[in-house]
Amino acid sequence: MAALKKVLIAATVAAIAAFFGHGFLKINRLSLASREMPVKHLKCHYLPNIEYGAEDITVLKDGLAFLSTGLHDYLDMPSFSNEPGKMYVLDLLHPKPTPVELQIKGELDLSSFNPHGISVYTDEADDSIYLFVVNHPQRKSQVEIFRFVWDDTLVHLKTVAHPLLHSVNDIVAVGPEHFYATNDRYFHNAAPQVLTVVLSLPWCNVVYYSPEEVREAAGGIQSANGINISPDKRLFSAHLTMNNACVHNGCFNLEVHLNIQGLDIETETPGFRPQ
């Protein structure tokens, strides 16, 4: 009996050690800690005004870029400030591009504004520009829809909240009130969420929203992150815990995996070429 007890204890210790060892290797792979970074000497320069929390960028075909900044208190990550987030616009074709803060008009609570992923949609009927912003006030997930007017103003039109949009990371707009969004986690508490990562549980998804219907467009994803749509209407989603991206066809079934080492996806904008 004593020998059997020792065997059981040893087996339990070994199983626990194997579990934590697997978890360590998994996190080490996800963080790309052992990746060799090639040194590229690019002509880069610092953009003023962007102090912390720069999160996402999307570009119009005329070279005008929108930026979301100030993301904090998200996924239990360290926060450098608890100040409300801000939106900026940047003319990439200007010889010395400088971010300009966008003035937000409407009934949105700016004191808890916490922007994450963004997307822009241009209505070809009247050239109206709509900006979609993932917002995390008090750690919630919702989508704010704005109309861009003049040179530096966003008019808040609508807040979208739905049970299926429970942990939104990024978004791609496909109409004035229509979009696809990624949920990057299943649990909101850190401990169970770490277990889903270590155990590679595919419990995240891509959700389609319109005023008429809200549904899961793609499931079985370990951690959906960046998302975008190409000019030929193919949907791309980046998966953080798999270090790859997926391409979905018109029915949004998985077609092919693309090996990447990034989080956000920004497809080429027709008619615009960075300088």
Ranges of each domain in the chain: 1-33, 56-259
Q: What percent of the chain has pLDDT over 90?
A: 41
Active-site hit among 41, 94, 116, 166:
116
Q: What is the pLDDT of residue 194?
A: 63
Rounded to an integer, what distance in angstroms lies between the CA atom of residue 198 and that of residue 209? 30
Asked if pLDDT for residue 247 goes beyond 80, the answer is no
Half-sphere exposure of 223 (CA within 13 A, CB side): 20
Do 226 and 265 meet the contact criterion of CB atoms below 8 Å apart? yes
Q: What is the pLDDT of residue 66?
A: 96
Q: What is the pLDDT of residue 254?
A: 37
Asked if pLDDT for residue 243 goes beyond 60, the answer is no
| pLDDT confidence band for 229 (50 / 70 / 90) | confident
Q: What is the pLDDT of residue 114?
A: 95
| pLDDT confidence band for 11 (50 / 70 / 90) | low
CA distances from 137 to 6, 75, 254 (A): 52, 13, 33
**Quick check: helix, strand or coil at residue 204?**
strand
Q: What is the pLDDT of residue 80?
A: 74
Q: Is the pLDDT higher at 215 or at 200?
A: 215
Do 241 and 30 meet the contact criterion of CB atoms below 8 Å apart? yes
Q: What pLDDT, in 10s, does the model give residues 72-128?
A: 887 766 677 788 999 999 999 998 889 999 999 999 999 999 999 999 999 999 999
Asked if pLDDT for residue 56 goes beyond 50, the answer is yes
Fold of the domain built from segment(s) 56-259: Neuraminidase (2.120.10)
Count Cβ neighbours within 10 Å for each residue of 89-104 and write b for 16 or more, e otherwise. Answer: bbbbeeeeeebeebeb
Annotated active-site residue 116? The verdict is yes
Mean pLDDT, residues 184-188 = 76
Question: The tokens of 197 are what?
Answer: 């990562």
Mean pLDDT, residues 216-231 = 84
Alpha helices in 113-236 (DSSP H): 190-198
